[in-house]
Amino acid sequence: MEALKILGPSLFSSPTTVVGVVVLLIIIYFISVGASSRETGKEPPGPRPLPLLGNLLQLDLQRPYKTLCQLSREYGSVFTVYFGPKKVVVLAGYKTVKEALVNYADEFGDREISPIFDDLNKGHGIIFSNGETWKELRRFALTTLRDFGMGKRVAEEKILEECGHLIQMFENYKGKPFNTSRPINYATSNIISSIVYGSRFEYDDPQFRNLVGRANESISISGSSQIQLYNMFPRLVGWVKNRQVILKNAEMTIRDVKGLITKLKETLNPQTCRGLVDCFLNRKEKEEDSCGKDSQFTEENLIFTVTNLFSAGTDTTAATLRWGLLLMAKYPQIQDQVQEELARVVGSREVRVEDRKNLPYTDAVIHEIQRLANIVPMAIPHKTNRDVIFQGYFIKEGTTVFPLLTSVLYDESEWESPHTFNPSHFLDTEGKFIKRDAFLPFSAGRRVCLGESLAKMELFLFFTSLLQHFRFTPPPGVTEDELDLTPAVGFTIPPSPHELCAISRQ
């Protein structure tokens, strides 16, 4: 591109010269592609790319994971696709994804930081960092989340308290149809908020509503065609509207998060931590006293780790719960069986985590919701951190890698009926719950979801408490068949906008 600029407009005055330049570029391109594969061995196969555009014209930009699943039928479980000029290696199917992320955990364990996420994080925070920064932040976040009860009784209490608020919110609709999105997002957001800040927000707090609303909007439009194009051609299409919206949202969120952190600083006590922010600030002070400038406990890493946890922890769990309620309304016989089991095993008392082992059908339903909902269809892009030979193919250091989780959760050689909602996938012939290897909604390996056990606890307690209290149905005049299971467009994929009725059972 630089060369073209230098050659200047005079070069393009004749059509013959333009054609000549284009032919020359195509020849250079094919020679360079040919040379790199000769030097290094066989690269994964894939559809033939066009110069600059790559395979863009073949991709469904709204739902790229669908095109990638189709391509894997033709090119196998390790293949190459060009997103514009960007080369991506796709891993498809349970066996391949597991082998890459677990047996080659190190080689495939770095994060690809696409232009939009680079705009937002600049290498800070836990999701979009690599190397020492990521190692330290991940270790810190995991220990702190555990200290604040992730997977333990403290978190259980917090979630049960939030269930009470969510149930109250649903009661307010008095059985009339409503969009489940906001209340559910507020509830899941409050769990991560109370772990991070040490306290929950009221659902009518304007600052909280804006924080949740902006995170939601940004995650949704980061999967739009405009942003996909921006990631392919960042210099050409940086002006697109959706990027401006995401940047504006980030600016306002950072301002709010800084404000919340400042308030906590004013009342910080070095002996106790109310939440993750306090622990981070105390650690920051300690490291500043001892090791000075090499510390990862910086203001930027704090702000971005907080915003990363807030978005990763809210949207995903909320989207899964919304799929769950929608599927219950669509398949009332399955809802009957869940409610029958809850009534028989738990009765009218509060459901607790320890009830799970006695609720095999309900457990199977929740797993099947997660499998079919497939809310993070391509995981979060990875990158190879060194040259690697994988399944006989050469993959160069720094190559973007998509672990195609859709192809794992819908793998035809692993699931009896991959495309239907079938809780029996997780039940044996006696109705006991069975674990399935290909259940990887949280991905696997080094970058496996950090919030997995918290998310599982939330899904179980929110889902069962809601089903104890309410019967979920389509709005009057809409049949179960008419409830639409087409996912929305987004980086994570919630159901398309819809309304449901929550009829009180008490």
Would you count residue 208 as binding ligand HEM (CB under 6 A)?
no
Residues 101-120 interacting with ligand HEM (rule: CB under 6 A): 111
Question: Which two tokens mark 468?
Answer: 């104890």
Instruction: By CB under 6 A, name the one of 180, 194, 228, 320 that touches ligand HEM.
Output: 320
* Rounded least distance, CB 446 to ligand HEM, Å: 7
Among candidate residues 102, 95, 91, the one with its CA nearest the CA of residue 412: 95
Closest to ligand HEM by CB, 58 or 298 = 298
Helix (H) or strand (E) holding 189: helix 181-196
Q: Helix (H, G, I), strand (E, B), or coil: what is residue 257?
A: helix
CA 40 from centre of chain: 34
* Rounded least distance, CB 188 to ligand HEM, Å: 7
Residues 361-390 interacting with ligand HEM (rule: CB under 6 A): 375-376, 379-380
Kindly determine how many residues on this chain lie close enough to bind ligand HEM according to the rule CB under 6 A: 27
Q: What 8-state DSSP symbol labels residue 102?
A: I
- Residue 85: how many CA atoms within 13 Å on its side-chain side? 11
- How many residues belong to the chain? 506
* Rounded least distance, CB 445 to ligand HEM, Å: 7
The window from 8-16, 31-39, 316-324, 327-335 that contacts ligand HEM (CB under 6 A) reads 316-324
Closest to ligand HEM by CB, 231 or 308 = 308
CB 394 within 8 A of CB 403: no
Residues 270-309 interacting with ligand HEM (rule: CB under 6 A): 308-309
Would you count residue 313 as binding ligand HEM (CB under 6 A)?
yes
449 carries a ligand binding annotation: yes
Closest to ligand HEM by CB, 25 or 448 = 448
Q: What 8-state DSSP symbol labels residue 238?
A: T
CB 190 within 8 A of CB 155: no
Closest to ligand HEM by CB, 142 or 260 = 142
Helix (H) or strand (E) holding 209: helix 206-221
The window from 276-284, 409-417, 450-458, 460-468 that contacts ligand HEM (CB under 6 A) reads 450-458
Instruction: By CB under 6 A, name the one of 443, 464, 465, 473 that touches ligand HEM.
Output: 443
Q: What 8-state DSSP symbol labels residue 240?
A: -
- Helices 452-469 & 360-373, crossing angle to 10 degrees? 120
Question: Which two tokens mark 309?
Answer: 């946890």
CA dist list (Å): 89 to 294, 318, 394, 454: 34, 30, 11, 31
Name the residue with the smallest CB distance to ligand HEM. Answer: 451
Closest to ligand HEM by CB, 99 or 171 = 99
Q: Are strands 78-83 and 393-395 parallel, antiparallel or unpaired?
A: unpaired
Instruction: By CB under 6 A, name the one of 326, 450, 467, 501 that touches ligand HEM.
Output: 450
Question: Which two tokens mark 361?
Answer: 């059908």
φ/ψ of 400, rounded to 5, equals -70, 135
Closest to ligand HEM by CB, 38 or 435 = 435
Would you count residue 211 as binding ligand HEM (CB under 6 A)?
no
Site string for ligand HEM, 337-356 (x = CB under 6 A): --------------------
* Rounded least distance, CB 133 to ligand HEM, Å: 11
- Residue 22: how many CA atoms within 13 Å on its side-chain side? 10
CB 376 within 8 A of CB 405: yes
Instruction: By CB under 6 A, name the one of 449, 461, 500, 501 that touches ligand HEM.
Output: 449
Would you count residue 312 as binding ligand HEM (CB under 6 A)?
yes
* Rounded least distance, CB 319 to ligand HEM, Å: 8
Q: Is 398 left (phi over 0), alpha (psi -120 to 50) or beta?
A: left
Beta bridge partners of 402: 90
Would you count residue 442 as binding ligand HEM (CB under 6 A)?
yes
Binding residues for heme: 449
Residues contributing to the site for ligand HEM (CB under 6 A): 111, 126-127, 138, 192, 308-309, 312-313, 316-317, 320, 375-376, 379-380, 403, 441-443, 447-451, 454-455
